[in-house]
Structure 1
Amino acid sequence: MNSIERIPPPVRQLRLVVETEDYEAAVTFYRDVLGLVEREVIQGEGDARITILEAGRATLELSNPAQVRMIDQVEADGQPSAKLRVAFEVEDSQTATRDLVAAGGTLIAEPRETPWRSLNSRLTAPDGLQITLFQELDPAAEPSGPE
């Protein structure tokens, strides 16, 4: 059997940087309510602050306009999504959606089953970032559908 030498990928991490006016509310929303794990907190001069939250496996999903329109139809009854939308896989999209709305998120669409067998909801976070929450309905399957 041939041994194939593994070459590390050129990109090691995807980091999404979100500027937020209400830093404390954003930390509460993403860390305390959504459950992202705090990895690092840095404070700088002039009240500069950053919290780096671990969000599990990162992927970059590139979709053409036709695909985005189809996803918008399935997830949000055709309401157009933002140019940038962040999707989080959660254990229970019903509960996570309810909790994030209670924490200041604005509901765009209630959780609904998609053709790719996930339960998706859409919200706007207090910082203005549009997010999708998705729960895989076939837990043994590797995520493969659009979010």
Structure 2
Amino acid sequence: MEILASRVLLRPADYERSLAFYRDTIGLAIAREYGGGTVFYAGQSLIELAGHGGPPAGAPPFPGAFWLQVRDLYATQAELQARGVEIAREARREPWGLHEMHVADPDGVDLIFVQVPETHPLRRDTRD
């Protein structure tokens, strides 16, 4: 099997509220808009908000989280706070060496903003 493209598809309870959150509050750039939704750039990934369907009745909360890497987590936190975003968990260094901050979208989806320090193993070149 060959995967040509992928993205995360969300069906928010309130499309306009979620659109405003991802576009205006978080500030993601729009990749494309279509009659039934909006697709946002999220680094090497895409996040699509479907303006149709909504979450299935009785559906459990989103079972995962978005991992969004930023250059400066503490500046990102300040920027989001200035925009009125409620920070669910303040930026801090985790035991595994990454710096992380959590924000919830209007439907409770966890957005984990991450800064990878220069000395972290994710930055090491493993080639010989």
Which has the larger share of strand? 2
Given that 1:112 and 1:120 are in contact with CA atoms closer than 8 Å, whether structure 2 keeps it comes out as: yes
The secondary structure found in structure 2 opposite 1:95 is helix
**Superposed CA offset, 1:7-41 (max 9, x none):** xx822323111122332332232233433221110
Q: Give the aligned partner of residue 75 of structure 1.
A: none
Q: CA deviation at 1:98?
A: 4.1
**In structure 2, do the counterparts of structure 1 residues 13 and 103 end up closer, same or farther at CA, with 3 Å as the change threshold?**
farther
CA RMSD of aligned residues (A): 2.9
Percent identity of paired positions between Structure 1 and Structure 2? 24
Q: Which has the larger radius of gyration?
A: 1
Match of 1:125 among 102, 105, 109: 105
Gaps of 5+ in 1: 1-8, 44-48, 59-81
Given that 2:43 and 2:68 are in contact with CA atoms closer than 8 Å, whether structure 1 keeps it comes out as: no
Gaps of 5+ in 2: 46-61
The 5 A counterparts of 1:58-137 are 58=45, 83-101=63-81, 103=83, 105-137=85-117
Q: Give the aligned partner of residue 15 of structure 2.
A: 23
Which has the larger share of helix? 1
- TM norm structure 2: 0.65
**In structure 2, do the counterparts of structure 1 residues 127 and 103 end up closer, same or farther at CA, with 3 Å as the change threshold?**
farther
Q: How many pairs are equivalent?
A: 108
- TM norm structure 1: 0.58
